[in-house]
Amino acid sequence: MFDPCELEALGGICILKGSHTNASGAERYIKDWCEERGLSAFVDVSLHPALGKYAVHVHAAQPLRELTPNFDTSRLAIQLGLLTKESTEDLHREIFLCMAASPVAYSFPTRAELFASIRARGHIVQAARRTELQFEVAELSRPSSYWDQNDEGAFVLRPGQPLVEAIEAALCPDVSGGRYAFSCREASEYLMLFGLTKELETANPFLLEKIAVQWRSAPLVADDFNDAFLFERGSRDRPFPKHCYVPGGRVWFKNPDEHSVQADGFEGSWVCYLGCGEFVNLWDHTKPYSIEKKCVEIYHWRHGAFTLDSGAVAMNEDIVGEKMISTLSDTEETRRILAQMMEYRAPPGVYGTGGCIDMSRDSLKWVCEGTSNIQL
C-alpha cells in the first residue's frame, strides 16, 4: 500500500499498480468506462512510472480545463447539462470529472476503489440533500427506535438494528418523521459515515459489521473518527483552489472573528459539497448554500454574538439572518465582505486575520476487501 499524499502533485485521479500489465488493464477499463458515458473528450488517460510502480493517470483534457478555469468546479454540472439531482449516473459523472480536474490528486490502489469512492460520494450527496436537523451543541437527540444513550452521553446503536438505516433515520425526516438535534460536526460525520456504510453493504460487508459492532459500544467521534475513516488532502503548502470541490467531500469553513468564535458551535461550519455549486444546509434542506452565502453567513456571526450574564458568548441567529438578507441585496457590500472571507483561513488558534476558506478537503478512505486502509 502507499500514502496518497505521495501522488498529490500529479493532480487528477491516480491508480497505482505494481506491474505494467495490471496498469495497462486498468487504463483500458477507465478508457472504456469514459467512452460509455460520453466523457472521453474531457479527460486524458495515460500510463507512466510512479513510486517505483505504474500509475494510471486521469486528468483534465483541454475541454475540461476550459470548463473549470482556475480549477473552479462549481459550474461544471450546469455547463454540461448534467441532471445530478434526478440521475445517479449524472451525479457520478460530475464526481469523476471534478476529481479529474483537481490539481491535488485523488489516488487509489485499484480501479475498484475508485468506483467505490464515486458511489460512496454519491450516497453522501443523496442523503445530504434530504438531511434536515435541529442545531444543538448540548441537548442532542436521535430516533430512539435505533439509538440508545450510554453513561457517557454517546449515542450507541441499539442491538439488532442495522447501522445504515439508523444513520439515515437520524438524518432524514422523510424516513423518521422527525428532526433530531446535532452539531454540524456530528452531522457531517453521520453523512460521511452513511456514504461509507451504504457502500460497504456490497463492497465489504465484513468491515460494515465491524463498524456496527464499534457503534454498539463506543462510537468514534472528532479526531478518532477522522483518523479511522477520512483522508485529508491538501495543505498550506499545496492548497486546494478556493472554488475546487468534489461532490461528497467534506470541508471546513472557519469563523475568523475572535469574539463570536467563543460561542459554542460557531467556531466554524462543517459541510459536505453537493455539487452544482451547492453545499448542504443541515437545518433546511430546501435552501442549500452557495459558497458566497456560506461566507456571508459566517461573516455576520460577529453581529449575532452577545454575552450572557454568566459571561458565556451566545448567538442570536435571527440577527444573523437579517444581516445576511441586507448584505446579499447590496452588491457592493457583498463584494466587500467576500473579499475578506474568501481568503484562505489563518492557522489554527489565530483569529482576527485571514478568511474562512480551508486549504484541505476530507474524503473517505479506501473501502474494498483486500485494499481498505480503514482501521478501528
DSSP string, 302-319: HHHEEE-TTS-EEE-HHH
Please give the grid coordinates belonging to residue 2: 502507499
Q: What is the pLDDT of residue 153?
A: 87
Which residues lie closer than 8 Å to 44 by C-beta, 6 or more apart? Answer: 57, 58, 59, 60, 61
* Sequence-distant (≥ 6) Cβ neighbours of residue 64 within 8 angstroms: 42, 43, 97, 100, 101
Q: Is 147 helix (H, G, I), strand (E, B) or coil?
A: strand
Any idea which of 48-52, 70-74, 177-181 has the lowest mean pLDDT?
48-52
> C-alpha cell of 20?
505494467
pLDDT tens-digit series, residues 213-234: 999 999 999 999 999 999 999 9
pLDDT of residue 11: 96
pLDDT number for residue 83: 98
Render the burial of 58-79: b for 16+ CB within 10 Å, e for the rest.
bbbbeebeebbeebbbbebbee
* CA neighbor of 76 nearest in space, from 58, 96, 104, 57: 96
Provide the grid cell at 257. 472573528
Q: What is the per-residue DSSP string for 151-187?
A: TTS-EEEPTT--HHHHHHHHH-HHHHSS--EE-HHHH
Q: What's the average model confidence in pLDDT over 342-369?
A: 94
Q: Which residue has the cell 456496527?
A: 212
Instruction: Determine contact, residues 253/358, Cβ cutoff 8 Å.
Output: yes
Q: What is the pLDDT of residue 107?
A: 96
**Alpha carbon separation from 309 to 75, 76, 232, 261 (Å, rounded):** 47, 49, 40, 18
157 close to 216: Cβ distance less than 8 angstroms: yes
Percent of the chain with pLDDT over 70: 100
pLDDT confidence of residue 151: 86
Give me the torsion for CA of 13, 115, 15, 63, rounded to 10°. -30
82 confidence band (pLDDT: 50, 70, 90): very high
Residue 137 above 90 pLDDT? no
Q: Which DSSP helix (H) or strand (E) runs through 334?
A: helix 331-341
151 C-beta neighbours (distance < 10 Å), count: 5
Label residue 5 by pLDDT band (50, 70, 90).
confident
pLDDT digits (tens, 9 = 90+) for 186-197: 999 999 999 999
Residue 87 has pLDDT above 90, yes or no: yes
What confidence tier does 34 reach under pLDDT thresholds 50, 70, 90? Answer: very high
> What's the mean pLDDT in 345-349?
90
Mean pLDDT estimate for the chain: 96
Beta-carbon contacts of residue 134 (< 8 Å; ≥ 6 apart):
141, 179, 180, 181, 182, 283
pLDDT digits (tens, 9 = 90+) for 35-62: 999 999 999 999 988 889 999 999 999 9
Contact status, residue 5 vs residue 57, Cβ threshold 8 Å: no
pLDDT, position 259: 95
pLDDT confidence of residue 2: 83
